[in-house]
Amino acid sequence: MRNEATKDSAKELIALSNPVATYLRFFWAGLVKHGQTGGIVPSQRFLIAKMIAPIPETYRGQVVELGAGNGALTLRLAARCPEARILACEINPTLARDHRCNLARAGFNGRVELFAGSAADLLSEMGQKQKLDFVISGIPLANLGREKALALLDAIRRVLGAGGMYIQFQHSLLDRRKIRTRFPDLRTVPAFLNFPPAVVYYAQR
């Protein structure tokens, strides 16, 4: 996936990546674009651990992450699965830039790519070509509205191969039924040790 900022050198990106500033920009996005951001702080390690647990450390395929924020989960996943390729997607341009900075700082450029745009656009670009084993998402489904949320779930289902897994966290159980309509094989696990507390959905295609 090509984007404007891919032209930036890793050095320039690293210079922009002050961890406190990136944290504050996430916080600001959480305040001014709350519906889209769905939280005011990035996910923390217990939730992230639950989100990435089903992906084997030796996994060599491609993982798609939707709603990647500034990369809290992406970086953990890249560290856990050193042979996996990760295609992350973030709609907020400020967070997308911070995500790229964090990737450059961690030295994950190349194996991990960021698509700065909407999940719907990314998934439609991927079309039927790819059949993935794992799609991970932090997108606040409840804030999308029913039609958009169901369209997104359909698009996720289309890119997953048979037996593939869609892993989603949310801060409420509001979307459980919606997800179940598209993924009847659904397991829900609480992640209390996060601020705010969350639930993780493991949906098998």
Ligand X SMILES: C[S@@+](CC[C@H](N)C(=O)[O-])C[C@H]1O[C@@H](n2cnc3c(N)ncnc32)[C@H](O)[C@@H]1O
**Residues at the site binding ligand X, with contacts judged by CB under 6 A:** 36-39, 42-43, 66-69, 72-73, 89-92, 95, 118-119, 138-140
Q: Which residues contact 50 (CB under 8 A, 6 or more apart)?
A: 169, 189, 191, 200
Q: CB 192 → ligand X: shortest distance, Å?
A: 16
Size of the chain, expressed as the number of residues it contains: 205
Q: CB 162 → ligand X: shortest distance, Å?
A: 25
Phi, psi for 204 (deg, rounded to 5): -100, 135
Q: Which is nearer to ligand X, 72 or 160 (CB)?
A: 72
Q: Which is nearer to ligand X, 95 or 126 (CB)?
A: 95
Q: CB 50 → ligand X: shortest distance, Å?
A: 11
In whole angstroms, how large is the CA radius of gyration of the chain?
A: 16
DSSP states of 52-70: HTTS-TT--SEEEEES-TT
Cβ atoms within 10 Å, residue 18: 12
Q: Which is nearer to ligand X, 35 or 163 (CB)?
A: 35
Q: Which is nearer to ligand X, 146 or 185 (CB)?
A: 146
Q: CB 93 → ligand X: shortest distance, Å?
A: 10
